Structures are given as C-alpha cells and as structure tokens.
Structure 1
C-alpha cells in the first residue's frame, strides 16, 4: 500500500519566484566567503574543472568573475583521485582553510565510494590551496562527504559531515514499504555527524556524534518530504547531507538536504538544538527550500545550501538548483534569510 503521508501537515514555503532568477554561475554545493581584507566575495563549489576547484569573485554578489583554479588535487601532497566536491573556505588567523571531499587513493578493498574529507591552506582566498599532510583529515571507517566547519563563540571548533549511503542499509517502516513496492533489496541512508576540532582545525577530538538521520516511522512528520526519492521509486537511497550550522537566537540551527541530489526532489530542512553536537529537533516547517514546479514554477533540485554574512552583516543563503531553461546544470541562487516571531528560520523569496 502507498504510505499515508499527509502533505497537508507540511507548510510549503515558496522560496523562489517563477522567473527563476539566479546568478550566472553553474556550480553545485555553493559556498560564499566575504573576504574583509579584499572587500570581495569569493564563491566556491563543485564543478568547473577536473581534479580540484575553481572560484569566482564579486564586489556586489551580482557580477562574478572567474579567478581560476584555486585547488589542484594533483599537487605533491594531494590524497584524492577524483570526485572533488563541496569546498568551504574559512579565514582563521590570517590563513584560509579549505575543507573538501574527494575519493581517497588508499583503497585496498576497492570501494566504489571511498570518500573522505581533507583540509588545504592558502595565504589568499584565490589560492593556491595546499594540502599539508598528504592524507584526509581523519578516517572514521566509512565514506564521508560535505564538510562544514563551525567556530563557536566560546572558541571551540566543530566539523560536521555526512556519512555516505554507500553500504549503509537501514531498516525502517519506509524501507519495508519501499522494498515491497519497488522490489529494492535494501534502502541505504546517509546520516549527518558532528565532531569537535582542535585549535589547529586539523585534528578531531573525541568520537563523532550522530545528529540527523531520516525518519524511521511512516507517521513521522518529516517522512513525506525526506522520503520522496524512495516513495516515488526514483532510487533506493535516503540522503541526509549538505549540513550547515548557524548560531542565532540563542540556539543552533543545522540545515541539511534530503533526497536524490541529481533529482527534482532535492530539498532543504533544518533542526535546532541548544548545543552544537545535539540533540536536534527537526522543524515542523520543513522543507524550507524545495522545488516549485508543482506550483507553476520552473525550479527543481534545490539543495546543499550554506549561509554567509555579507559586508553589512546581513545573513544570506546560497544554494544550487536546476531550472527548465538550464536543464541539468546546477545554478547558484542567493536569498536573504530571516527569523519569524517564533524564531523559525525562513528563506525570503525575491
């Protein structure tokens, strides 16, 4: 039988207008750094080159200029072989730290998804970013992607990441239904974890904590939107990835993406906690970024967002999406964010 997901329980937030305005950059997993020393914005993301990353710069968040390749995985201490994804860059003590995902060359079991997270350092936001150790930041024993780093007001540092779906089957009511409906052998899942970093921002402290995972029960309020790729028969995986942590209104907001990253149902929700490492409660307003093609719009595949402050200190959200005009290209969108009277995180439409 079809899962009894009640869509009326979910509030749809139309986060983009039907004209599908975006900046003219084709990137996945976008991240923007406002660099105060140069008074410029730098945009990093997945795509545009092989074996590394390129970047764009802008003075006004509207006109962007490619600055070239800022990280090359073929450098002497490079440890990745392919699939260079989701870079994020932070300025700390006059150094620029880039955290990114790649396929680790040390792969004795010949895993198809042997992803880990690395860190490279530069003196300039335009690079070149250089790996320091010739190996990933750490090895939790399973493939991981989508690094996000958070520096708290108490001086502590944290790394958030997603465990890949690969070889991670999970039992649930949704999995039972999908296996019966579509004949899947298993339903694999990715989960978001967090772990503390030391002051060097290159070593983890303690064991990672599980923070966000897909719902287990059909009647969970989050099940409908987080299970769309599975319930539609698109694929046998449920993702929780692309996390980003924000501290505001006396609490912590962790944003995350769910569903197939290459499909129309990719969407963003968030959860809140009183501590960086949880526990987290998902928002009843989820998803806050999603496709609008069901309502006359032209955007789908919206996800993997990050948040930045512009030069005036205003919080902005950047994410990728596909439009009917651009096809499979992932284009970059920038929107304002705000908090309502109940401190719920919302994405402003144009």
Structure 2
C-alpha cells in the first residue's frame, strides 16, 4: 500500500509538472504589424502558407489625404509568425500609371499569381472622370517578382459602363474555371468576365443589383454551394454582405457583419479559410501614431451559424490563436 501511495504521488507530480510546462497560447495580436502602415488587405493560400497583400499608407502624421505608392506582401504558416517580403509592387512598375496605389486583389490561376491594382492614369485623355484605371501584374510566386504583362490597364474611365471611381478590384476564379472581375466605389458596383488569359475582358461590363447600402470594396468568397459578396456599406463604412447560389446573382441582402471603425471612415475586408479556420482581415487606425490615413491591418476569426450565415465579427486586441 505504501508503494502504491508513492506511485500515485509521483504520477500526480509528473502531471502537475507537465501542466506547468505547457506553453502559453500564442495570439497574432492586433494590429498585425507595428510598421509599416498597411491597409486594404487581400489574402490567398498557397502551399500551406497564407499570403497577405496590403496597400501602404505613407502620409505624415497630422496631415490629411492618402499618400500611397506601393504594395506589400506578408506570409505566415501559423497566423502568428509573419514574414515581410517587402514592397514588391509599386506605381513605378506600371508605365501608364502616375500615383495612388489603392486597394488591390491577388488570385492564383494557371500556376501564376495575378495582382489587380488601381492607380490614376497618366494619360489625360483616359481621365474622363476620377482618372483611376485598373491593371494587373503577374508573378510565378506570391511574393514576386511581379511585372506588368500588358503595358496598359484592363479597366479605365473609357471602358464602356465603367464607373466614376474605378477602384477596389476583386477577382474570383470559379470551380468551373470561369473568371469574374468585380469592382466598385461611390455606391456603384460592376462585374465582367475575364478571358482565360486573365488580362482581357470577355464580354460587357454589367451592373450588379441587390447589394443594399453598397459603397465600395467588394469581396467574393464561396462556402459549400453559396457565394458571399461582402462590401463596405455607407460612409463612414461598416461591412455588410449578401448571398447567392449563382455568382451572377440574384443577391440576397443579409446584413451587417463588421461595425464602423473608430478614427477610420474606410472599411476594407478580406475573408479566407486557412487550415480549417475562417478569418476576417480588415484595417483599423489602431496604432498609437495611426489615423485615417495611417492604417494597420488586423485579423479576427470569422464564424458561420447553422444556416451558413456570417456571425457579427468581434474585434479583439488579441487577434487569432496560433495554428499548431
């Protein structure tokens, strides 16, 4: 009996020691990076790695207006440890562009990576409205190097049925290989099919109906057999969304999933499933020296209810748990 007691005691202390040695859970923290200032996230998954594409806010503290010349790529395998691949794309990489490196979107297709980005066109004859046009850069790896394969934009003010402010592109490659290009701002949203080469329009530019309160920043993702179209609604913006069983609609309005952001009237989301976890990327003005023109990308978990509807996003300072 005495021996059994000592064996039980030893087992207890071994259990307690192992419990004490368990590492503390690690979280990403929000914002994800203390520098540089990052905004307008886009994400894709490749080879068990998540790649985050962002704009870069370069405005001086205390001044108004966006100053944006380049885009960054970051990557992670566990949502906590991030690699900064640097500013791998800039306005200077496009001979036809002059300034304003606004929100872009990257997608994989045909073994290459296609990064669609808006900028102001150099050519005054192409600046009918706000002057923004959208081009594409292509690379063999998500972190680049990227190059402009066209030397001219895909969408401009002169494109038939384009909008006053041609920004915020998002491109979706469907299960059947068809490619859809969406964009929008100033309360208007458009879509057009792309040819298989990813750089040419394949049909007319069409209006999208049914996106209640749409302002800008469309993002399309699919879960099971349902398409989700999330977007910035109103201004200052919150994130709302709609669903459809067909990528061409009709879209059914579903409501607000992300509230307005303190000190940042813009609200730009990216949604992704990575290693079985659903994530909602966004930006805030959350750094001590941040502001509406000095934003920082954050991430929190995204959840669906039993009907496949998106639950309201809960913003946290912790961010998301490390993937083991």
TM-score range, shorter-chain basis? 0.7 to 0.9
Cα distance between partner residues in 1 of 2:86 and 2:287:
28
CA pair 114-55 structure 1, distance change in 2 beyond 3 A: same
Taking structure 1 as reference, are residues 87 and 146 closer, same or farther at Cα in structure 2, changes over 3 Å only?
A: same
Equivalent runs, 1:39-54 vs 2, <5 Å: 39-48=48-57, 51-54=69-72
Matched, 1:255 2:234: no
* Deviation string, structure 1 residues 142-190 (Cα, Å, up to 9, x no partner): 441111111111221101101x43xxxxxxxxxxxxxxxxxxxxxxxx2
Q: Does residue 318 in structure 1 map to residue 318 in structure 2?
A: no
Following TM superposition, by how much is the alpha carbon of 1:269 offset from its aligned partner in structure 2, in angstroms?
Answer: 0.2
Which one of the candidate residues 131, 146, 151 is aligned to 2:168?
A: 146
Q: Which residue number corresponds to residue 244 of structure 1?
A: 219
TM-score by length of 1: 0.69
8 Å Cα contact 1:191-1:213 kept in structure 2? no
Q: How does 1:90-109 map to 2 (within 5 A)?
A: 90-108=107-125
Q: In structure 2, what is the equivalent of residue 343 of structure 1?
A: 308
Contact 2:211 2:253 in 1 (8 A): no
Match of 1:289 among 244, 247, 258: 258
Pick one of 40, 60, 85 that aligns with 1:29: 40
Unpaired segments of 5 or more residues in structure 2? 1-28, 59-67, 317-324
Q: Which has the larger radius of gyration?
A: 2
The separation in 2 between residues aligned to 1:96 and 1:207, in whole angstroms, is 24
Alignment of 1:1-350 (within 5 A): 21-24=30-33, 26-36=37-47, 39-48=48-57, 51-75=69-93, 78-108=95-125, 113-139=130-156, 140-141=159-160, 142=163, 143-162=165-184, 164-165=185-186, 190-212=187-209, 226=213, 240-260=215-235, 265-283=236-254, 286-291=255-260, 301=265, 303-310=267-274, 312-323=275-286, 325-328=288-291, 329-349=294-314, 350=316
Counterparts of 2:169 and 2:126, CA distance in 1: 24
SS in 2 for 1:335: strand
1:342 positional shift = 2.5
C-alpha contact 2:211 2:251 (8 A) present in aligned 1: no
Contact kept, 8 Å, 2:210 with 2:252, in 1: the verdict is no
C-alpha spacing 1:122/1:348, structure 2 compared with 1 (3 Å):
same
CA distance in 2, matches of 1:108, 1:53: 27
